[in-house]
Amino acid sequence: GEDVEQSLFLSVREGDSSVINCTYTDSSSTYLYWYKQEPGAGLQLLTYIFSNMDMKQDQRLTVLLNKKDKHLSLRIADTQTGDSAIYFCALVKGNTPLVFGKGTRLSVIA
Amino acid sequence: EAGVAQSPRYKIIEKRQSVAFWCNPISGHATLYWYQQILGQGPKLLIQFQNNGVVDDSQLPKDRFSAERLKGVDSTLKIQPAKLEDSAVYLCASSTNYEQYFGPGTRLTVT
């Protein structure tokens, strides 16, 4: 299977919370990232978490890491239409390059 | 702070033609990456430079792709000759420590 897996689509109503999930296979990953990609644009680094952390919060974003289940999630509170984009989970081990999932397309319904 | 710059933003060529992409990383970033992002996929690494030396080019199709980073700053990625399956977005990124920043990408269409 893929090294990093994500569900392809998520649809939420404006003002609700969004939770985007990611599972991975390499338990020795050191850093785990969330990137946002809007149409026609490059990838924007949203946040990242070190593997010795369980949670990281940054304004509307909360990252949860469950190392036992190899599961990473990104929660976006009070989701806005401007949050509509593709969200990529990525991870790195040591000096190896980033390995990306296929991305989750988030659609926010007004 | 200026971000990663790439040019051109779009390119359309016929198969068997050549094309080159340019990248200027964030000032002071020693590590530079080129990724290929095919529609509906996540980016995949083509080549990684540390200063002007190649760290990883294991996924670069060396029969047609080449890349260089002269003087450890700007980089160019070349495809010669292009194939239909090279149609993709080519992303350049640079990093310092644990944060990797991406440019806007070059969308290549091979007809």
Of all residues in chain A, the one with the smallest CA distance to B5 is A42
Contact: B104, A42; criterion CB under 8 Å: yes
Tell me: the pLDDT tens digits for B36-81? 999 989 999 999 999 889 999 999 999 999 999 988 899 999 999 9
Mean pLDDT of chain B: 94
Residues B17 and B78: beta-carbon distance below 8 Å: no
Of all residues in chain A, the one with the smallest CA distance to B39 is A102
Name the minimum distance, in Å, from the CA of A44 to any CA of chain B. 7
Residue B17 has a pLDDT of 98
CA distance A29 to B98: 13
Query: Between residues 44 and 83 of chain A, which touch chain B (CB distance below 8 Å)?
Result: 44-45, 48, 50
Contact: B100, A103; criterion CB under 8 Å: no
Average of per-residue pLDDT across A11-32: 93
